[in-house]
Amino acid sequence: MIDRNSTWYKIDFIARRATPFLLTIVLVIIAQAPLKMSGIAPVTLSVGLISVYYWALHRPSMLPVTAVFCTGLLQDILTLTPMGLGALSLVVVYGVMVSQRRLFYGKSFVFVWWGFAMTAVAVGTMRWLLVSLIEGNTVLFLPSIIECVLTVTLYPVFGYFFVVVHRSLLQEH
């Protein structure tokens, strides 16, 4: 049995609590490598959205809203989008998922994935509208569609990865 007052126990506890945030930050940084497709603007995968959705649904206490906001600001800086747009998007997703946890928690993977797809479409549309308003003209919609489709399509891969991480965080060492 580990002594709960030991330094190692405290370090382990802090590391486990910080893992969702640090993992989200690392994935956001890695995902900023644009995917180049001929004939359209480069698009990126929105793994920050996937991570916030997953952790807000399964363990909101391990990814507090302040961490979500900071992640969104970092995403804005890396993607050179209007400052606050990513933060707003991720905080909205977080708020919706925390408020709708009862609806999604413990349901089938397909139902949760469907919820994520609806969330991704709503966020993509919101971001496109806000960028168009900020720019003063309609920006291309195709990159937003491609980003949304890629993100929704790859949700199962990242979802499985988050499940593995989540289970490892729950194990007592």
Give me the pLDDT at residue 104, please. Answer: 95
Residue 2 lies in a domain: no
Distance CA 110, CA 116 (A): 10
Please give the residue range of the domain that contains residue 127.
7-34+43-170
Taking alpha carbons only, the member of 84, 91, 86, 85 closest to residue 29 is 86
Domain annotation covers residue 166: yes
Q: How many domains does the chain have?
A: 1
Q: In a structure prediction context, what are the per-residue pLDDT tens digits for the chain, which is 173 residues long?
A: 567 778 888 888 888 889 999 999 999 998 886 656 555 556 677 899 999 999 999 999 999 999 999 999 999 998 888 899 999 999 999 999 999 999 999 999 999 999 999 999 999 999 999 999 998 888 888 888 988 999 999 999 999 999 999 988 877 65
pTM exceeding 0.75? yes
Q: Are 52 and 63 spatial neighbours (Cβ–Cβ below 8 Å)?
A: yes
| DSSP-derived secondary structure for 8-27 | HHHHHHHHHHHHHHHHHHHH
Q: Is residue 125 part of a domain?
A: yes
Q: Is residue 131 part of a domain?
A: yes
Domain-located, residue 162: yes
